[in-house]
Amino acid sequence: MKFTIKSYLKNPYKNINNMNVIEKKLSQFFINIDDHFEVQKIKKYIDQDYIDGYIFLQYKDEVILDFHMYDLIDQLWSYIINIMEKYLSEGYASSYFPDQPIKIFISNVKNNNAVIELGIGDKKFVLPKNELFIAILESAMHFFSKLIELSLISIEQYTLMSKRIQNLQCLINTNKE
Amino acid sequence: MTLRDGIKAGAAFGTGMYAQGKMLKGLNSFYKTTKIKAFEFVKNNPLLTPAEYMATPEGVLFKAMNAQGNGIKVDRFNKTSVNKQHRNVKANIKNLNKFLEKFDSEVIKVGNKVVLLDKKGMKHVMERHHPRYWNGSIKNKQSFFSNNIDVDEITASIKETVKQNREFILQNSNPQYQVQGVINGKTYILGINNGRVGQFYSLEQ
């Protein structure tokens, strides 16, 4: 896979009041959602309505999203699914990060159906459409499965979200054929 | 020693043991509660210093408990570093708590749906984006309301944003979504999370 996507939860014990400090002590501030042992330690202190964290998104050697853009991660994943749905029906979709004015958009690229333009804040990336969407949907599903495992979302929310992700996966597979 | 003395001594011993057992059980529960309270306090007031915590009634109890070698170590509280900037932040947190005591939840009706602006939602909006109530947390692009904006104006702006997006909210079936509102020429982003106001911020930084 050319894409690497991972989700990290913010340690609720750690307040971020200086962005420069985070990089040196990244593992103290953020925990990979797959790190079962560490996640269990912080789980009960996480506020279900405000789950901070970040999505790490890398294409080949290029980092597209990382801890610099940490935000309310469950909502960010939901907004990404929202804009993917809208993009697939309208060819363009945008949103803002949940708690900060960073714009995220997906749009078509002229005369090239195989790629899309992904805009995040001031940066723009041209990326292979199907590969990106498949990777995003797989990672989103993984993220929400972890949230339900940790009882950080309700079963209803999880069921609805997994249905939406599966629908998108079907749509992308149909478009591929 | 008569039989009577023996019975008396036995009864006294039995009563003593029973009373001690009750007392130890009570103390154990007392220690446990103090420990839980200490954790809750740290969670709710991450920016306060250990010294400030110790000044609270819970802190005094915790100190006493710790001195006896029970419970968690005081060092745990040193994890939260406090710098100059936080002096203002501490005052902001106090102001916010005061303000929230008086704040009543608002139910915003949108046709057959409702959007709830509750205390928790309002707390988040204020502590993240209002300069006078800011909790010091930083994100990549930190957005603030103007310093003189009043709480009623924020509530009114949230209601106005909901009103401007009435049709979208009625048709939308996603539990987590955003809408935009333009109020007095400024654009605001409203995040709705499972029917409640989760975030509200200005697009201008």
- Looking at residue A72, its pLDDT comes to 98
Closest partner residue to B142 (CB to CB) among A49, A74, A100 is: A100
A139 contacts chain B (CB < 8 A): no
Confidence (pTM): 0.77
Check B191 against A99: CB less than 8 A apart.
Answer: yes
**B186 and B152 part of one domain:** yes
**Distance to chain A for B47, nearest Cα, Å:** 8
Structure ipTM = 0.94
Q: Say if residue A127's pLDDT is above 70.
A: yes
What is the full DSSP assignment across B112-177? TEEEEE-HHHHHHHHHHH-TTT------SS-----TT--HHHHHHHHHHHHHHTHHHHHH---SEE
Provide the number of structural domains found in chain A.
Answer: 1
Do residues B108 and B177 share a domain?
yes
Is the separation of the CB atoms in A62 and A125 below 8 Å?
A: yes
Q: Would the CB atoms of B47 and A15 count as touching at under 8 Å? A: yes
Q: Averaged over A144-150, what is the pLDDT?
A: 96
For residues B179 and B119, membership in a common domain is answered with: yes
Interface contact flag, A96 B43, Cβ < 8 Å: no
pLDDT at B76: 32
Residue B88 in any domain: the answer is: no
Residue ranges in chain B modelled with pLDDT below 70: 1, 3, 14, 19, 21-87, 205
- Please report the pLDDT score of residue B120 as a whole number: 95
- Count up the domains in chain B and report the number: 2
Task: Evaluate whether residue B98 is within a structural domain.
Answer: no
Q: Tell me if A49 and B198 make a contact (CB, 8 A cut-off).
A: yes
Q: Which helix (H) or strand (E) holds B51?
A: helix B50-55
Residues B16 and B59 in one domain: yes
For residues B48 and B111, membership in a common domain is answered with no
Determine the residue of chain A that is closest to B43 in CA distance: A13
Mean pLDDT of A116-130: 97
- Give the CA distances from residue B47 to residues A14, B80, B100, B137, in Å, rounded to whole numbers and listed in that order: 10, 6, 18, 10
Write phi, then psi, for A120 (nearest 5 degrees): -135, 110
| Same domain, yes or no: B125 and B166 | yes
Q: B107 with B67, same domain? A: no
DSSP state of A53: E
pLDDT at B12: 75
Residue B56 lies in a domain: yes
Residue, of B46 and A107, whose pLDDT is higher = A107
Per-residue burial over B25-54, b if 16 or more Cβ lie within 10 Å, else e, is eeeeeebeebbebbeebbeebbbbbbeebe
Q: Do A99 and B201 touch (CB under 8 A)?
A: yes
Is the domain of B128 the same as that of B172? yes
Our CA-based measurement puts residue A111 at a distance from the nearest CA of chain B, in whole angstroms, of 31
- The boundaries of the domain holding residue A170 are 3-176
What is the average per-residue pLDDT within A77-95? 97
Q: How far is CA A171 from CA A68, A79, A164, in A?
A: 32, 18, 11
Claim to verify: residue B38 and residue B116 sit in the same structural domain: no
CA distance B131 to B59: 30
Q: A16 and B138 in contact by Cβ < 8 A?
A: yes
Domain that holds residue B148: 103-202
Taking the Cβ of residue B178 and every Cβ of chain A, the question of whether any pair is shorter than 8 Å is answered with: yes
Q: What pLDDT score was predicted for residue B30? A: 57
Q: Which residues of B touch A160 (CB under 8 A)?
A: 175
